[in-house]
A = this chain, B = another copy of it.
Amino acid sequence: MKLSKLFTKTAKENPKDEISVNAQLLERGGFIYKNSAGVYTFLPLGWRVIEKIAHIIREEMNKIGGVEMLMPALVEKRYLDATKRWDVDIGFEAKGKEEKKAGFVLGWTHEEVLTEIVSKFIGSYKDLPFAAYQIQTKFRNEPRAKSGLLRGREFMMKDLYSFHESEEDLWKYYDEVKEAYLRIFHRCGLEAIYTVAAGGDFTASNTHEFQVVAAVGEDTIFVCEKCGYAENSEISNLKTGDACPKCGGEMIEKKAIEVGNIFPLGTKYSKAFNLQFVNEAGKKDYVVMGSYGIGLGRTMGSVVEVHHDDNGIIWPESVAPFKIYLIALDGAKKEADEIYEKILHGGGEILYDDRDDKTAGEKFADADLIGCPLRLVISAKTLQEKSVEVKSRQERSAKLLPLTKVLDLLKY
């Protein structure tokens, strides 16, 4: 894409009303736009990052047998009445302009909706197990919507639900999801810590979170420096220096961002919606469920919190909006056009800074702020060497690559 075709522009100053690094850099770079507190637009560059994250999530969900679907955001009162969650403060109510009372809550989770749907189809143990997921916009009226993409009132979430004939089968799948989640975060450039957490609204037993260590994190966790066992401080009696209950290693306190969570739901929802099946012995029993969430915007925000420097974002290649940022300088426009077409034609993802009203310094600053993994610079000087300058966003030094070899960049 040519920068001249992108309607957004970068900003030199941090937005005054943002205190988190992810919001500051993402707004300055033209990735997101703040419409209201906790409500953001994904601008073209930001949308590309979300699409990359969504693609990774879909691949890993499909690998563990998840089938994709899409449930509505308008969740009728009867669904939440069945589990006594209609009055939960976190919900946004929705009603027609002419209506006196709200008939809908904006979905902040979809256990009820999917359990009702599944109850219309499932009859026998032969129909189990299965898992279904969606990537959907969700709504929660967060009082503390001050951390950019980390805590939104409107946000994109992948929610997976699994259905089993026994607790045993649930736990087997629960473990598969855990591994898939660790792969997803790793592929996005995040090392997530699997953390024992409280039950929350969903279930009485322990749940598990995926925590990314970052100073901005709202969660406090205790992590064993020896075996990696971790507990959320909300449920933990541990403190820094205590011995890890698993291996005796030392527990360390850390601030972290919760990027995903998984919940063993048991039969809470299947009982509320009479989701039963006939087991092998010919008897009726309630389906055992699990639910599993990942925030896409929160994952994107966490990547920025972890991968940046004073000059801007340093995107991991897997989720970068473009792999290559091409800068044309003094008198090298024609050659830059050619390289752009060549890389584009070769299937490369390239953002071309073709603006002619910007100085070299402005272009370098924008390249660093936007943070694509590779920066190419072509100028009269590099052309003397029949070369283009290549620099990794993560490194300080650049090197020259012969013009005849630019397609080698596609292999990186």
* Contacting residue for A97 out of B9, B72, B93, CB 8 A: B93
Q: Is the CB of A70 within 8 A of B47?
A: yes
Cβ-closest chain B residue relative to A1: B67
Closest residue to A89 on the B side, CB-wise?
B97
Interface centre among A88, A95, A96, A117 (most CB of B within 10 A): A96
Chain A binding surface SS class: mixed
Check if A33 sits within 8 Å of B126, measured CB to CB: no
Judge whether B69 and A154 touch: CB under 8 Å: no
Cβ of A334 < 8 Å from any Cβ of B? no
Q: How many of A's residues come within 8 Å of B, CB to CB?
A: 64
Q: Give chain B residues whose Cβ lies under 8 Å from the Cβ of A39.
A: 72, 74, 76
Specify which of A7, A47, A106 lies most central, judged by the most chain B CB atoms within 10 Å of its CB: A7
**Contact yes or no, A7 B127, CB < 8 A:** yes
- Residues A61-82 near B (CB distance < 8 A): 65, 67-76
Copies of this chain present: 2
Residue A383 at the B interface, CB < 8 A? Answer: no
A261-303 contacts to B, CB under 8 A, are none
Picked from B41, B70, B104, B106, the residue with its CB within 8 Å of the CB of A69 is B41
CB neighbours of A117 from chain B (8 A): 33, 41, 43
Of the candidates B35, B72, B127, which one forms a contact with A41 in the assembled complex, judged by CB atoms under 8 Å apart? B72
> Is A98 interfacial (CB 8 A cutoff)?
yes
Closest to A76 in B: B36
Q: How far is the CA of A93 from the CA of B73 in the complex (A)?
A: 14
A222 interface residue, CB < 8 Å from B?
no
A370 to chain B, nearest CB (A): 15
12 contacts between A and B (CB under 8 A): A1-B67, A35-B72, A36-B76, A36-B103, A41-B70, A46-B69, A47-B70, A90-B97, A93-B97, A94-B139, A96-B141, A137-B137
Q: Are B94 and A35 in touch, CB under 8 angstroms?
A: no
Whether A69 pairs with B97 at a CB distance below 8 angstroms is no
Given contact pairs A90-B97, A106-B94, A47 touches B35 in the complex (Cβ within 8 A): no
A42: chain B residues within 8 A (beta carbon): 69-70
Contact A65-B5, Cβ < 8 Å, known A137-B137, A154-B72: yes
Is there a chain B Cβ closer than 8 Å to A398's Cβ? Answer: no
Of B5, B89, B96, which contacts A130 at CB under 8 A? B5
Cβ-defined contact, B7 with A163, below 8 A = yes
* A-B interface, 6 closest residue pairs, ranked by CB to CB distance from nearest: A96-B141, A44-B67, A42-B70, A36-B76, A39-B72, A7-B130
A175 to chain B, nearest CB (A): 20
- In the bound complex, CA of A322 to CA of B96 (Å): 38
Instruction: Encode contact with B along A86-112: 1 for CB under 8 Å, 0 otherwise.
Output: 011111111111110001101000000
Chain B contacts for A407, CB-based, 8 A: none
